[in-house]
Amino acid sequence: MKIGVLALQGDFDAHRKRLEELGAEVVLVKKPEQLDEIEGLVIPGGESGTFLKLLGEAGFEKLKQFVGVKPTFGTCAGAILLANEVENPKQTGLGALDIRIRRNAYGRQIDSSIRQGKLIDGKSDESPIEMVFIRAPRIERVGPDVEVIATEGSDPVAVRQGRVMAATFHPELSDDTRVHQAFLKLIGNPRLVDETLGLFSGKSSLSAELKRERRRKDKW
Ligand code: GLN
């Protein structure tokens, strides 16, 4: 199963690493035709306006078709691109998620922060999770078909509608792998697209072996 990471700009490499650690085969997507080779796509953080410029009209249309049929996960700028209503300033979205999202709603770069939020599983089970926010957008409206899968304070910070997921934080920058695991689970189990249960059940963080390997690599 090949998973693409949109690699036009932004922090695509952290997503590549995380997905590979979880056993996925990753394709860095730099050309629209590469979308034909993959089963799912991650749209990383970066600058959503720049993504739009780099995609161009044809790239945008091809991406829109893709997100209409294949699982897609957007983080931060990626979440902004997936929305159907973008504020501050108004901006075109792919319309894959029925949400209104406000760019840079928590302040500028200097206000970026690491906070603790909650993952919510279908049965309203909650568990704490570290969240890295970088010039994050805020989800201001959630449509009736959108499931909130994570919150921070009273804000929804990760949502899902069918096969499309988005987070306003950066799970690729924390050790906790549950959000990416949930996305892989969504790709591997088309059945889950219509269900709400069990998206986050499973192992909660990097295996001990991977952690040891990381430490070993960090030594030099
Ligand atoms: N502020 C950026 C935007 O509006 C998103 C920031 C991010 O992706 N870390 O696109």
Which CATH number is associated with domain 2-218? 3.40.50.880
Tens of pLDDT along 141-181? 999 999 999 999 999 999 999 999 999 999 999 999 999 99
Q: Which of 112, 135, 169, 170 to mutate to test the pocket of ligand 1 (most atoms within 8 A of CB)?
A: 135
> What is the spatial distance between Cα 24 and Cα 135, in angstroms, rounded to a whole number?
29
**Residue 210's pLDDT band (cuts 50, 70, 90):** low
Q: Which of 55-69, 110-124, 138-152 has the lowest mean pLDDT?
A: 110-124
What is the per-residue pLDDT for 197? 46
What is the per-residue pLDDT for 1? 84
Distances (CA, A) of 43 to 6, 81, 115: 5, 8, 22
Phi, psi of 134 (to 5 degrees): -130, 110
Tokens of 74: 């957007």
How many angstroms separate the alpha carbon of residue 219 from the centre of ligand 1? 32
Does the annotation count 170 as an active-site position? yes
Residue 200 has pLDDT above 90, yes or no: no
Domain extent listing, the chain: 2-218
Residue 133 has pLDDT above 90, yes or no: yes
Collapsing DSSP to helix, strand or coil, 36 comes out as helix
Does the annotation count 76 as an active-site position? yes
Residue 209 has pLDDT above 60, yes or no: no
What is the per-residue pLDDT for 172? 98
Among residues 76, 87, 130, 209, the one annotated as catalytic is: 76
- Give the H or E element holding residue 6: strand 2-6
Q: Which residue has the higher pLDDT, 108 or 160?
A: 160
Shortest-distance atom of ligand 1 to CA 47: 10
Q: Is 96 left (phi over 0), alpha (psi -120 to 50) or beta?
A: alpha
How many angstroms separate the alpha carbon of residue 134 from the centre of ligand 1? 7
Which amino acid, 211? K
Residue 127 has pLDDT above 90, yes or no: yes
Residue 190 has pLDDT above 90, yes or no: no
Of 40, 41, 36, 44, nearest in space to 11 by CA: 44
Residue 10 has pLDDT above 50, yes or no: yes
